[in-house]
Amino acid sequence: MKKYLLIISLILIGLSVKAQDGEFHVRIHGQENKGVILDTPVSSIDSMYMNPDAVNPFKVRTPNGLYSFGFTEIDSLTFPFVPVSTGNTIYVNYNGTTAEVTSPYPATQVIVTVSEAKVSITSLVSDNITYILSGTANPGRFEVVSEVSPIVKLNGVNLTNPTGKAIDLSCDAGIIMELADGTQNYISDGENSDKKAAFMSNDDLLMQGNGTLTVTGLKEHAMKVKGQFNMNSGNIVITGSVKDGIHTEGLLVQGGNIDVQSCGDDGLTSELDGYINGGFITITSPTDSINGISADSTLVINGGNINITMSGVSANCIKADKELTINGGTFVLNNSGNVSKGIKSNSTITITDGDINITSSGVTVITNYDPTYCTGIKGDTDIIISGGNIDINLPSSNNGGKGISCEGNMTISGDNTIHIETHGDGSTYTASSGTDTYSSSCLRAEGNMQILEGNITLNSTGKAGKGIKVGKKNGNTYTGTYTQGNADGSGPTLTITTSGAQIGSGGGGGPWGGGSSTKASAKAIKVGGVATIYGGTTTVNTSTSGAEGLESKTQINIEGGQHYFKCYDDCINSSGKIFFNGGVTVCFSNGNDAVDSNAGQAGAITIGNGVAFAYTTKGSPEEGFDCDNNNYIRITGTGIGISAGGSQGGGGPWGGGGSGGTVTNPAQGYKFYTSSYTFQTGKYYTLSNTSGTGGTNMVTFSFESNCSSSLALITATGMVSGSTYYVKYGTEAPTNPTTAFHGIYLGGTSSASTQAFSFTAQ
């Protein structure tokens, strides 16, 4: 050690000469991130020596006194050049329990008060003074009051003030905080503080630089800005706060890094509008009923990387009291607390772009007979999505949760990709009016829903889970319309899969059922009001009892697009009428009717200008088209309707008899084919106006599974009442069809030649 002291002494001799604009200092750096524990000019050092018999053997004597250190306290020694304060720069250097202020201004212009290591400066000049802070003090404090914007530069400072704010800044014109490049700076208050924050800016604050500021708030907030907080660059680490990590009146994040590691209240919160345009924000908290990022007014996120993990009950990763808009950015959000939310707004949520990944794993809680859910994205009014990539996962622990949910209307359009998985089971619960059920939904709107464009994949595996649920029941009426696609036939690519079992027992299908509400089933699309499909491509798969593809309690209109339903239960079901006015729709049920209307009146199922291919392999009494009475079917256009299945089984004069019926005023010929026939998979059946090879290929259809039919409806473009038509089969699909979609082939050349049966059109 003596050799080292000799070397240091020689260095000090070489550095002891004052330069014209500054001098060298000795800085002793403490272990374990304690920062600078001694900073003194070389010229002020009287001696530096070692007393091996002392508890703290390393000694440094200066005019301020004798400093003693243990070897385990010291990390390193450095010898920085510190300029003498000139121009508009003031240096504040902290030394344990003292502070030294070097200022070029007379005391009448810049009033400096130093009490131990507590520094208070009031500037009366019009200069934009730069204050450079360094060193360590406990207790320590820095306060500045200025009429013009000061620049406060943290240059390796460590301040702890157990009784108040460690940094307190005031300027009506705003304040610039600069973190010197590569420096580590530490600010903390204490549990006995009588103030609201460890770091306080009483006016607008601009944060910049490439250093790091670590703040701990042991009384209330770690940082509080009574104005707009602008973050351009730098690194802020909140190691803990009793209340908010960073509390501001306004928020603008352009860059830099914010890392809130623990907080007793919101991580980053704004009393007014908040804007995030860039930077990296990481927030982690286990606290109940708080928010990661929040704004009491509107919140707009245009970019940045946001990673938030919240594990508290009723906690939200991102929340706005008013409108919340996401125009870009990358989000990784994990909300695992009960009834928590990934993204929440008390008003409208608008998403135009961004990569959003949410995992919501908290459970549903019943309070006052009312279930409250853990949700990925929740809007109290409307949700509008016109772009972006959204991936939401609700694991099995999230029983009854919602992927994206709003109490108002939901509109999805534009170039978006949405993938939602829900795996939690639904359940029965005690409601105010008796027993009811709840279950998970990928997309849920209590108002109306429009899905106009996008690539959307929804998968629900939990009991009674829903892909899409729209509207609600008010008394004996249902509200909430569902619109898919656009009038020109364009629309989304929509894929929905459900595999959850039924819950409960008894009749009628859950909260919207006609019977007991203790039973609920999985549904791909469940709508209270009218469902209208204008376009797009739909693929639906369900596989459990009661699991229907598309259900409306009011009416279903299919106007265009291509839609495939493979369901255990009804592929398409409505309490009202069902219209096939355009597009191509294929329905294959292996456990119930393919298409089922309970309207009980003329036009219950209507073939307009659309193509509908519906079949069931369940057998009697399930049908391809079931409307209780075949007389209720209407043919109003030149479309194609092919159905196959068991005999009529829903009541009326045709109940169980396998009889046909009569269509009133059909726009083209048709046939109820009531003879038993088994359509076989692997064969392609062509409807033609001639027997044998050749003739017009009016339509070709094939089956995924053998279908034993005793009641089939056949109508196709060009069919004329009284003319004879032939159903032939072959083993090859038509060549060059204009449409080939899940067993329906329009146009092209058919090689079918073996006759299955023939009939005379009605």
Q: Where are the domains of the chain?
A: 2-82, 612-762
Per DSSP bridges, beta strands 36-41 and 22-30 are antiparallel
CB burial of residue 47 (10 Å; 0-12, 13-18, 19+):
exposed
pLDDT at 658: 41
Alpha-carbon torsion (482, 485, 489, 495), positive or negative: negative
Q: Are strands 530-533 and 548-552 parallel, antiparallel or unpaired?
A: unpaired
Confidence of residue 35 (pLDDT cuts 50, 70, 90): low
- Tell me what pLDDT residue 309 has: 98
Structure tokens at 559: 């106007």
% of residues, the chain, pLDDT over 90: 79
Q: What is the pLDDT of residue 27?
A: 77
pLDDT band at 178 (very low <50, low <70, confident <90, very high): very high
Edge-first strand listing for the sheet containing 744-746: 739-741, 744-746, 699-702, 684-688, 724-730, 754-760
Token pair 């991580």 is found at 267
pLDDT per residue over 112-149, tens digit each?
999 999 999 999 999 999 999 999 999 999 999 999 99
pLDDT value of position 281: 98
Ranking 47-56, 367-376, 601-610, 739-748 by mean pLDDT, the lowest is: 47-56
Mean per-residue pLDDT of the chain: 91
Confidence band, pLDDT 50/70/90 cuts, at residue 387: very high
Is residue 36 predicted with pLDDT exceeding 80?
A: no
Q: Is the pLDDT of residue 331 over 50?
A: yes
Average pLDDT over residues 604-630: 95
Q: What does the pLDDT average to over 561-573?
A: 97
Range with lowest mean pLDDT among 22-26, 439-443, 618-622: 22-26
Question: How far is the C-alpha of 165 from the C-alpha of 215, rounded, in Å?
Answer: 11
pLDDT > 80? residue 160: yes
pLDDT over 50 at 450, yes or no? yes
What pLDDT score was predicted for residue 39? 72
DSSP state of 546: T
**What is the separation of C-alpha 501 from the centre of its chain, rounded to a whole number of angstroms?**
27
Task: List the single range of 18-22, 97-101, 163-167 with lowest mean pLDDT.
Answer: 18-22
Higher pLDDT, 509 or 528: 528
Whole-prediction pTM: 0.88
Residue 656's pLDDT band (boundaries 50, 70, 90)? very low
All residues at 6 or more sequence positions from 647 whose CB lies less than 8 Å from its CB, including other chains: 620, 621, 623, 654, 656, 657, 658, 659, 674, 710, 711
Residues 438-462 have a mean pLDDT of 97
Mean per-residue pLDDT, 419-425: 97
Query: Residue 129, SS3?
Result: coil
Q: Grade residue 73 by pLDDT with cuts at 50, 70 and 90.
A: confident
The pLDDT of residue 408 is above 70: yes
Mean pLDDT of 566-578: 97
Whether residue 683 is predicted with pLDDT greater than 60 in this model: the reply is yes
Task: Please give the pLDDT value at position 275.
Answer: 98
Per residue in 263-282, pLDDT tens?
999 999 999 999 999 999 99
- Given a cut of 60, whether residue 608 has pLDDT beyond it is yes
Question: What pLDDT does residue 653 have?
Answer: 38
Mean pLDDT of 543-567: 97
Omega of the bond leading into 139 within 30 degrees of 0 (cis): yes
Per-residue confidence at 85, pLDDT binned at 50, 70, 90?
low
Question: What is the reported pLDDT for 53?
Answer: 74
Of 265-274, 515-524, 574-583, the one with minimum mean pLDDT is 515-524
Residue 182: how many other CB atoms lie within 10 Å: 11
What pLDDT band is residue 483 in, cutting at 50, 70 and 90? Answer: very high
pLDDT value of residue 514? 42
Predicted confidence band of residue 731 (pLDDT cuts 50, 70, 90): very high
